[in-house]
Amino acid sequence: MNNTIPNILSNNNFTVTNIIRLLKSNDGDLKLLYNRAKEVKESIVGNKVYLRGLIEFSNICQKDCLYCGIRKSNTNAKRYFLSDEEIIQAAKFAFDQNYASIVLQSGEMSSPSFTERIDRLIKRIVKITGSEFGITLSCGEQNDSTYAKWFNSGANRYLIRIETSNEELYHKIHPRNGAHNFQKRIESLRVLKNIGYQVGTGVMVGLPGQTLSHIADDILFMKALDIDMCGIGPYIEHKETPLFEQRSTLMPLNARFELTLKVLAIIRIMMKDINIAASTALQSIDKLGREKAIQVAANVFMPNITPQSYRKNYNLYDNKPCIAESPVECQSCTVARINLANGKVAFGETGDSKHYITRKMIV
Ligand code: SAM
Ligand code: SF4
């Protein structure tokens, strides 16, 4: 038997079949998988956990992803856009607390007034925080010149989850129209990389219609794309979305959680030096979800620093955690959670992806 779990792990033999085998592992085999991921994590990225203050600055979205609670057609979503001053204050809070980086996340908008406004905000944030501060954008697909403009103004990381690397499945979870174009989303990742961003992507785990073979392909897709950062979370239903109708076909939440942890472990083993986020969605299934992700694979934590009154409206999925807390409460919770996971909070460190640093040295 060549494809025993110890053989796969010691030979680094990550074919689709072998990844599926790892995804199916249980008991002693699962322990081996987690132990190997922990070893890689410890030796390559260490136990530091980098902070990214997450500012969910707007839930206004021009898209209609069938899984997302803030999709355009959800008329029950109460829309908001933080004022410039609220965004700047949040960024300043992160800077003052020594987080060393932020993520600006929103629904997707592409109007000139939106792109100009983000550009002005990036410049103001750089002015306050200095050029060393990490600014990650997660504002959806934009045109090439907007990505370049934001980069030149001081943003240095960009996250676009591909959601699934399987085109057929992609079309089952998005409307079939020009606004939800699979090839354009992949192309965005290439453009961002060429511009010079640290580039992150990821998928949802446990989507309706998703198989282990799809997930194995997702992992190989990310490896082939040579990504710098990764954000993976379980898919969680939202009552007011079209995909909710397929809830009876889903695996139970705890199985989605376990499968997500396995995916993170495999990614850490295969893409040793990238940054991996402990996603908030993990915590909505298991109270210690983010700690478990840190123990196995993750080295990035995103404390929510969105002003408290807006949080309930950034309602991507049911039971989203950290809705009732303030940025200060999220800070003490963050430190406690990272300590509990035997991580070391890397205050004051931007935590650039090691993979990105190496990639830049080689070019
Ligand atoms: N609008 C931007 C975009 O889509 O790239 C960024 C914000 S979007 C809310 C961030 C991520 O939330 C998506 O990439 C998706 O993976 C995740 N998300 C949305 N709905 C979800 C759900 N029901 N369960 C889990 N994750 C979800
Ligand atoms: Fe909009 Fe992003 Fe939600 Fe899709 S996932 S509906 S682009 S906020």
Strand partners, 275: 229
Asked if residue 294 has its Cβ within 6 Å of ligand 1, the reply is no
Counting ligands in written order, the one closest to the CA of 72 is: 2
The pLDDT assigned to 310 comes to: 97
Q: Whose CA is nearest to atom 2 of ligand 2?
A: 107
pLDDT digits 0-9 by tens, 185-201: 999 999 999 999 999 99
The pLDDT assigned to 1 comes to: 58
Residue 64 CA, closest ligand 2 atom number: 6
Report how far residue 191's alpha carbon sits from residue 197's, in angstroms, rounded to the nearest whole number: 9
Asked if residue 71 has its Cβ within 6 Å of ligand 2, the reply is yes
The pLDDT assigned to 362 comes to: 76
Question: Tokens 């240095």 label which residue?
Answer: 156
What share of the chain has pLDDT > 90, as a percent? 94
Q: Do residues 47 and 279 touch, judged by C-beta distance below 8 A?
A: no
Give 321's DSSP letter: S
Provide long-range contacts, Cβ within 8 A and 24+ apart, for 180-183: 180/63, 180/64, 180/65
The pLDDT assigned to 4 comes to: 94
The pLDDT assigned to 330 comes to: 87
Q: Against a cut of 0.95, is the pTM above it? A: yes
Report how far residue 311's alpha carbon sits from residue 96's, in angstroms, rounded to the nearest whole number: 21
Report how far residue 59's alpha carbon sits from residue 70's, in angstroms, rounded to the nearest whole number: 6
Give 161's DSSP letter: -
Counting ligands in written order, the one closest to the CA of 260 is: 1
Residue 140 CA, closest ligand 2 atom number: 7
Inter-axis angle of helices 253-270 and 289-296, to 10 degrees?
20
Residue 68 CA, closest ligand 1 atom number: 20
Asked if residue 57 has its Cβ within 6 Å of ligand 1, the reply is no
Report how far residue 214's alpha carbon sits from residue 164's, in angstroms, rounded to the nearest whole number: 8
Domains of the chain: 5-362 (3.20.20.70)
Per-residue confidence in pLDDT tens, the chain, 363 aa: 578 999 999 999 999 999 999 999 999 999 999 999 999 999 999 999 999 999 999 999 999 999 999 999 999 999 999 999 999 999 999 999 999 999 999 999 999 999 999 999 999 999 999 989 999 999 999 999 999 999 999 999 999 999 999 999 999 999 999 999 999 999 999 999 999 999 999 999 999 999 999 999 999 999 999 999 999 999 999 999 999 999 999 999 999 999 999 999 999 999 999 999 999 999 999 999 999 999 999 999 999 999 999 999 999 999 999 888 889 888 889 999 999 999 999 999 999 999 999 998 876
The pLDDT assigned to 363 comes to: 63
The pLDDT assigned to 329 comes to: 87
Q: Whose CA is nearest to atom 26 of ligand 1?
A: 235
Residue 143 corresponds to which tokens in the numbers above? 């045109």
Report how far residue 126's alpha carbon sits from residue 156's, in angstroms, rounded to the nearest whole number: 11
Residue 298 corresponds to which tokens in the numbers above? 């993750």
The pLDDT assigned to 71 comes to: 98
Residue of 301, 289, 293, 305 lying closest to 349 (CA atoms): 301
